[in-house]
C-alpha cells in the first residue's frame, strides 16, 4: 500500500518572504506560554535548553517509527535535536542573531500565514482552529514558532554561505554531485487544494474526484513523460516540476519527497498528502550523466543544500549534550500527547 504522509506545516518555501516582512496585525495571534510541565528543561544541546514540549513532540513522532523501543526513540530524538541546534550554533558563528528582531519578525509573519493563508493556501482559518489542530498533532504554539524560526535561520545561513563563497561549486563539483548517491532526480505534480474553493466554499467532492483519479493513474503511469501523462489526465493539476534533490533537504515539501525518493527504485512513485494544501504525486527518474543548461540551476541548488547539510552534520557531531532529571523520567508510559 502506498504511504500517505500528512503535513501540517509547509512554510519553508515562503521563508525568504517571511524574513523580509513584518505585519503588526499578527499581534492578534499572541504566543501561547508553555505549561509548567512543558517548560521543564529536558536537556541542553550545545548552548540551548531543550524544553519538554519539543522533546515530547519528537518522541511521539519517532515512536511511530520505532514502536515501543525506548532506546531507539531516544537516540533518534537526540540526533534530531543535535542537528536542530547545530543549525543555530552555525548561524550564531556567522553573525546571525537567532533570537534577534529579524528572526522574530519572520516568526510573526509565519504564524500569520499559517492561520490566514495566502494565494497558495487557505491556512487554518482562525487562531482557535490553529491551536486546536497543532495540539491534536502533538505540537504546541511554542514548538511551531521554534520551527518557523529554524526555517528562517536556515534560509539566512544558506545565503550567507553562498555570499561568502563558502558554498561555491564549479562544473566539476556539480557533475560529481549529480552522479553521486547524494542526488536524486524527481518529477512531481502538485494538486492545489485552494483551487477548489468557489465563492469561499471548498468543493470537497470535486477535490476528492481529482485526487482519486490521479492516484489511480499513478498506479499505471510509466516512467516516460510522467508529467505529460498526469496533467493530461487531470487538467486541474498545476506546478509540474522536474528537479533534483539532495540527501540533505530542509524545505518542505522537498524533505519528505527526498526521503521517499531515495527509498524508491528508478521509476517508483509515491504520494504526499498535505492536510491544508493539497497532494503531490511524484516519480523518481534517472539522473543524467552530465550537466546541461536545463538542469544546472536545480543541480546547483541541490548541491549547495547538500553542502550545508554536511556542515550541520559535522557541527552536530561535536555539540555537547547534558541531560536533566526530567530526561531520566521520560519513557514510553510517561510521554503522552498534549
Q: What DSSP string runs through 105-171?
A: HHHHHHHHHHHH--SS----SSHHHHHHHHHHTT--HHHHHHHHHHHHHHHHHHHHHHHHTTT---H
In 3-state terms, what secondary structure has residue 256? Answer: helix
pLDDT score recorded for residue 123: 75
Looking at residues 80-85, what average pLDDT do you find? 95
How far apart CA 18 and CA 21 sit, in angstroms, is 6
Domains detected in the chain:
11-167+319-328 (no CATH), 180-286 (3.10.50)
pLDDT digits (tens, 9 = 90+) for 267-302: 999 998 876 678 889 999 999 989 999 999 999 999
Looking at residues 224-243, what average pLDDT do you find? 73
More confident residue, 108 or 278: 108
* Contact (CB, 8 A) for 139 and 56: no
Give the H or E element holding residue 296.
Answer: helix 296-318
Looking at residues 183-198, what average pLDDT do you find? 84
Which is nearest to 282 in space by CA: 259, 261, 252, 251?
261
In terms of C-beta density within 10 A (0-12 exposed, 13-18 middle, 19 or more buried), how is residue 107 classed?
A: buried
DSSP code per residue over 196-217:
GEETTEE-HHHHHHHHHHHHHH
Percent of the chain with pLDDT strictly greater than 70: 86
pLDDT score recorded for residue 73: 96
Predicted confidence band at 7 (pLDDT cuts at 50, 70, 90)?
very low
pLDDT digits (tens, 9 = 90+) for 13-34: 344 444 444 443 445 799 999 9
Q: How far is CA 211 from the centre of its chain?
A: 22
Looking at residues 216-233, what average pLDDT do you find? 80
pLDDT score recorded for residue 3: 37
How far apart CA 221 and CA 232 sit, in angstroms, is 12
Predicted confidence band at 174 (pLDDT cuts at 50, 70, 90)?
very high
Predicted confidence band at 193 (pLDDT cuts at 50, 70, 90)?
confident
Amino acid at each position: 500500500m502506498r504511504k500517505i504522509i500528512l503535513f501540517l506545516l509547509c512554510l519553508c518555501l515562503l521563508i525568504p518572504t517571511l524574513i523580509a516582512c513584518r505585519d503588526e496585525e499578527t499581534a492578534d495571534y499572541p504566543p501561547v506560554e508553555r505549561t509548567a510541565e512543558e517548560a521543564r528543561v529536558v536537556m541542553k544541546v550545545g548552548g540551548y535548553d531543550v524544553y519538554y514540549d519539543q522533546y515530547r513532540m519528537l518522541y511521539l513522532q519517532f515512536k511511530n517509527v520505532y514502536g515501543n523501543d525506548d532506546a531507539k526513540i531516544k537516540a533518534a530524538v537526540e540526533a534530531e535535536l543535535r542537528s536542530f541546534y547545530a543549525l543555530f550554533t552555525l548561524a550564531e558563528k556567522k553573525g546571525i542573531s537567532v533570537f534577534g528582531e529579524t528572526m522574530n519578525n519572520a516568526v510573526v509573519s509565519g504564524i500569520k500565514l499559517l492561520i490566514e493563508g495566502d494565494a497558495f493556501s487557505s491556512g487554518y482559518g482562525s487562531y482557535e482552529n490553529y491551536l486546536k489542530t497543532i495540539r491534536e498533532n502533538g505540537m504546541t504554539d511554542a514548538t511551531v514558532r521554534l520551527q518557523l524560526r529554524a526555517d528562517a535561520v536556515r534560509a539566512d545561513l544558506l545565503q550567507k554561505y553562498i555570499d561568502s563563497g563558502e558554498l561555491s561549486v564549479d562544473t566539476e563539483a556539480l557533475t560529481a554531485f549529480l552522479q553521486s548517491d547524494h542526488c536524486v532526480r524527481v518529477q512531481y505534480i502538485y494538486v492545489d487544494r485552494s483551487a477548489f474553493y468557489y465563492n469561499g466554499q471548498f468543493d470537497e467532492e470535486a477535490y476528492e474526484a481529482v485526487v482519486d483519479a490521479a492516484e489511480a493513474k499513478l498506479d499505471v503511469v510509466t516512467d516516460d513523460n510522467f508529467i505529460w501523462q498526469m496533467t493530461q489526465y487531470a487538467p486541474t493539476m498545476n506546478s509540474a516540476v522536474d528537479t533534483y534533490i539532495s540527501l540533505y533537504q530542509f524545505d518542505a515539501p522537498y524533505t519528505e519527497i527526498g526521503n521517499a525518493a531515495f527509498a524508491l527504485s528508478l521509476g517508483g512513485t509515491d504520494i504526499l498528502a498535505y492536510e491544508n494544501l493539497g497532494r503531490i504525486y511524484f516519480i523518481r527518474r534517472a539522473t543524467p550523466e552530465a550537466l546541461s543548461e536545463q538542469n544546472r540551476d536545480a543541480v546547483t541548488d541541490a548541491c549547495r543544500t547538500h553542502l550545508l547539510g554536511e556542515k550541520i552534520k559535522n557541527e552536530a557531531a561535536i555539540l555537547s549534550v547534558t541531560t536533566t532529571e526530567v530526561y531520566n523520567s521520560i519513557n514510553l508510559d510517561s510521554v503522552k500527547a498534549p
